[in-house]
Amino acid sequence: MKITKFFFQNANSFVKRWKAQPFQVQWPRKHDKVFVAMSGGVDSSFSAYLLKKQGFNVEGVFMRNWLDEDDAPGGCPAEQDWSLVQKVCKQLDIPSRRFNFEKDYWTRVFEPSLELYEQGCTPNPDVPCNRYVKFGALYEALENEMSREWENGSCSTQQWWLATGHYAKTMKNASNNQVALCLPKDRWKDQTLFLCTVQEKALQRTIFPLHNLEKKDVKRMAAHAGLNESADRLESQGLCFVSPNVGSHFRSFLGRYLASSNEPIRVVANGKVVGFYPPSTGCWSYTIGERCGLSLPQGDPEFQGRWYIWKKEASTNTIFICHGSMNPLLFRKRIRVNHWTWSTEWIRQEASKSKGPIDCSVRVRHQQTLEPAKALFQGDGLLVVDFLNPQRALTPGQVLAMYNDELCLGGGSIAADEP
């Protein structure tokens, strides 16, 4: 088994010394029970295929997280997903079953997301869904079941695992069982951003069968294995039951749950009001960095060209726009991050030895290149991040994940207030 050494550098204790710790890929033993969280998509289906082929005791599990099928016309309604999961499991000759987590999703993911939208933020529901539902409610349900089966003698092993089709990697130090969430082979597809707040307890029993594969090869190999229907499916993320989950359809969906203002939304450019958006849309429906759709007088030299949203004030129902996609107002070099969660306790302890900022790399959106930065922790889940290079359209509510080498240190939410 390949051994990887991680080095932790920090402006004080870490800079003075490099600390190396050996880890190896976390993987089941022969005859271990492996539950595969399946959606019918190619990644989870092929993960189940790989584990079955390697001789593990595999069972497919499906989560239903939303009740209203009308929200998903032509998208990924739960019954269609469940039907495909059953079909794949039958093809692989493994058992399958479903869990209902509608309440967990509503209270831990959807309602908090609505609150953030109302505050003018743009949340990423994939992150709390992974933390509280897939690696929270599902993990706890499986843990309780395996404990009961062990106690009544209906299972032969206490060792079980939860596998998903994420492109990520868990590694473990065999000497002390310390676990680490790490980057996968496919750095472009890397999904550790969406997993950066998953609790350590769940990571201890989590494996990612696609950690050493690339997406293009997974689709090809899945089709070769006869998983054609899964291989041909479109990918989903965010609120997957809303299709499409971008644009006017998505805004219409959120509009069912978010109150609109009685007053039109003011649009401000160069310190003066230049127009209004209709009150039915709401500040929440506009995103920092996107092009302003307001019709401005192109005959006036002051307003010629393209304008972009650089700031929102939900409290005053105001959107601020600037000229040009590379306007300095769209860029920030320092941000505050709140609700910080360390990936593991041993990483938190290592970082706590610092008396100053930590040298790290960060990512604030999927498939973004890792950006060099320094992070200064202020306690109570707060930190200030200084980027080496100014970053465009840093959006309050979005998640920032932090890395050192291959290791994911944790994650938090970009705050609306300035440091």
Of 65, 68, 73, the residue nearest 98 (C-alpha): 65
Closest to 24 in 3D by CA, of 39, 3, 38: 3
**Structure token pair of residue 316:** 């005053």
Is the CB of residue 56 less than 8 Å from the CB of residue 63? no
3-class DSSP state of 128: helix
DSSP state of 235: P
| Distance separating alpha carbons of residues 266 and 278, to the nearest angstrom | 9
DSSP string covering 5-28: EEEE--TTHHHH--EEEEEEE--P
Residue from 17, 58, 11, 9 nearest 36 by CA: 58
Looking up tokens 């999703």 gives: 105
Residue 116, C-beta contacts closer than 8 angstroms, at least 6 positions apart: 122, 123, 397
Compute the distance between CA of residue 43 and CA of residue 282 in angstroms, rounded to an integer: 36
Residues with catalytic function: 129, 240
88-to-220, 235, 236 alpha-carbon distances in Å: 17, 17, 18
- Residue whose C-alpha is closest to residue 193's, from 414, 403, 415: 403
Strand partners, 335: 385
* Helix or strand (DSSP H, E) at 254: helix 247-255
Collapsing DSSP to helix, strand or coil, 125 comes out as coil
Q: Measured in Å, how far apart are the chain's first and last C-alpha atoms?
A: 45
